[in-house]
């Protein structure tokens, strides 16, 4: 089950990720949906098979509740802020000028999904601090996968390699900040008022 959840998380991320090409490069939405399915379904299957092959009784224990459902909007907002920083300041390829609504909806959709991914079963080794959890999820779990996805775009489309490095790097930094903010907020919510201050 844990493998299936991870496969779903990353498969859906890649599925949503390829839809940006339709906005930025003007490819057909139908083409990008087919590409997304071609990427997403094998990742779901691989995640499930990995879970079958490697899961142990320790992996089936429920994750200790830390961040709440409020993690989703917190991470999403940080992701959107980071992406617009990358669009407007770093100049990464985007359709902000030509498709502002589509770009915003895509960016928000990815941000929400990354927040949902964080609430799905966590990695096998969980750090005990909010900072550690933020770094492990933002830079390792999400960051490495998102970097591989963007490297894949270099093969499929003629894009600037430097900007494709800046894109996942910026995303990982802002997702890490979002997870840290969500974890800190959740920790304060469970402390008595006198301790929280």
Judged on CB neighbours under 10 Å (0-12, 13-18, 19+), 194 is exposed
Judged on CB neighbours under 10 Å (0-12, 13-18, 19+), 192 is exposed
Q: Rounded to an integer, what is the distance from CA 176 to the centroid of its chain? A: 10
**Distance of alpha carbon 96 from alpha carbon 144, whole angstroms:** 26
Contact 118, 67 (CB under 8 A): yes
Examine the pLDDT at 50 and tell me if it is beyond 50. Answer: yes
Confidence of residue 191 (pLDDT cuts 50, 70, 90): low
Confidence of residue 73 (pLDDT cuts 50, 70, 90): very high
Query: pLDDT tens digits for 94-137?
Result: 777 888 898 899 999 999 999 998 987 554 446 778 888 899 88
Question: How high is the mean pLDDT of the chain?
Answer: 78
Confidence of residue 44 (pLDDT cuts 50, 70, 90): confident
Residues with Cβ within 8 Å of 20's Cβ and at least 6 positions away in sequence, in order, are: 106
Confidence of residue 196 (pLDDT cuts 50, 70, 90): very low
Looking at the whole model, is its pTM more than 0.85? no
Confidence of residue 38 (pLDDT cuts 50, 70, 90): confident
Contact 185, 70 (CB under 8 A): yes
Question: Among 72, 10, 2, 1, which Cα is nearest to 36's?
Answer: 10
**Distance of alpha carbon 43 from alpha carbon 33, whole angstroms:** 15
Largest interatomic CA distance in the chain: 56
Residues with Cβ within 8 Å of 82's Cβ and at least 6 positions away in sequence, in order, are: 170, 171, 173, 174, 175, 177
């Amino acid at each position: 089950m844990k493998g299936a959840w991870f496969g779903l998380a990353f498969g859906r991320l890649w599925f949503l990720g390829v839809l940006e090409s339709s906005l930025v490069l003007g490819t057909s939405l139908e083409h990008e949906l087919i590409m997304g399915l071609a990427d997403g379904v094998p990742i779901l299957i691989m995640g499930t098979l990995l879970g079958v092959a490697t899961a142990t009784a320790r992996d089936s224990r429920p994750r200790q509740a830390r961040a709440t459902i409020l993690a989703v909007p917190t991470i999403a907002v940080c992701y959107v802020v980071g992406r617009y920083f990358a669009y407007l300041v770093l100049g990464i390829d985007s359709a902000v000028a030509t498709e502002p609504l589509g770009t915003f909806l895509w960016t928000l959709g990815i941000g929400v999904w990354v927040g949902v991914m964080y609430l799905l079963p966590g990695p096998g080794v969980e750090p005990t601090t909010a900072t550690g959890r933020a770094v492990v999820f933002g830079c390792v779990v999400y960051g490495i996968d998102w970097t591989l996805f963007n490297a894949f775009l270099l093969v499929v489309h003629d894009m600037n390699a430097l900007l494709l490095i800046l894109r996942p790097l910026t995303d990982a930094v802002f997702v890490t900040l979002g997870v840290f903010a969500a974890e800190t907020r959740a920790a304060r919510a469970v402390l008595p008022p006198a301790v929280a201050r």
